[in-house]
Structure 1
Amino acid sequence: MKFTLEVTVDDGQPAEAAARELGRVLRYWGGNLHHYALRPGDGSAVYDSAHREVGRWRITADGEG
């Protein structure tokens, strides 16, 4: 399987704030990992601390994009 996570970080933020927000996104997603079977086809939106969609994650079979 292949795991893909894409998150758009606001370029208008100072680097420190962007890193802090990305860290929060990753911790939140990692904390909820047990809710997913992690099979090809699984995926979901990723949200920032203001509950705005900032990306997506997905599971695909090896060799799929």
Structure 2
Amino acid sequence: MKFLLEVTMDDAALTRDPAGELGRILRYWGGHLHHYALRPGDGSPVYDSEYREVGRWRVEDQAE
């Protein structure tokens, strides 16, 4: 399996403070790990601090 996190960096909040926004995204996602089995097919949208969708995370089989 592999875990993939994709975030579009040209979003307004990410352009203003990329390290701060990415840190917030990672903290928020990490705090919600217990909601997921983390099996292939699991995933969810990723939002910036203004609650706009800026990416997605997912778990895939290595074969994909």
TM-score bracket for the superposition, by shorter chain length: 0.7 to 0.9
Residue pairs, 1:10-49, within 5 angstroms: 10=10, 13-14=15-16, 17-49=17-49
Distance in 2 between the 1:18 and 1:60 partners?
26
**Which runs of at least 4 in structure 1 moved beyond 6 Å after TM superposition?**
none
Hey, what's the Cα distance between the residues in 2 that align with 1:50 and 1:11?
10
Aligned residues: 62
Instruction: Answer with 1 or 2: which has the greater Rg.
Output: 1
Runs of at least 5 residues in structure 1 that lack an aligned partner in the other structure = none
1:7-65: CA deviation from partner (whole Å, max 9, x where unpaired): 11237634xx111011001100011011100011111100011000000011111121x
CA RMSD of superposed structures (Å):
1.5
TM-score, scaled relative to structure 2: 0.86
